[in-house]
Every structure is written in structure tokens, then in C-alpha cells.
Amino acid sequence: MIIQCRQCRTKFRFDDNLMHGAGVWLRCSRCGHVYFQENALMKPEKDLPSEPVKPEAKALKKLQHKKRRDQLKDFATQGNDWDNL
């Protein structure tokens, strides 16, 4: 089947055997856009899969975790008693 990136409109040949369920999440090799390609061989359903977590959200969560870890490390190195929090 021929699929097309929804952002840059580049067309690709896509192996039908890789398509399963309602469709698959794809990343355009040209522009990097991530999109859901519906399975044209299957009857459309009302519910589409949820959107994948965006890389920015993952990076923000990782940064917040690192900041919190550093705060706890600073607390521990100041000689504070963990039992009296």
C-alpha cells in the first residue's frame, strides 16, 4: 500500500503485513513527524488509539525527576535527619 506523511506529504510504500489492528503509529523518515496510519483494510472504528507520549513530555519528566533527586541529595548531605521529615 502507499501511505503519505500528513505533514510533509511524502509518499512511501508500506508492507501490508506490517499493518495490524486499527492501524500503526509511524514516524516519517523525511521530516520526523509521528502520526497514526489507519488500517485501510479494516473497517474504521470510532475509538482511535491514544497518542504516544511526546518526547518533550518525557524530557520534562526526566528533568523534574533529576531536579527532585538533586534536592534530596542536597538535603542528605547537609546532615539532616531523614527520620524527622
- What is the per-residue pLDDT across 17-75, written as a single tens digit (0 to 9) for each? 888 888 899 999 999 999 999 888 776 555 555 666 666 777 778 888 888 888 777 76
Q: Are 43 and 69 in contact (CB under 8 A)?
A: no
E strand or H helix at 25? strand 23-27
Query: Phi, psi (5° rounding) for residue 67?
Result: -60, -45
Single pTM value for the model = 0.46
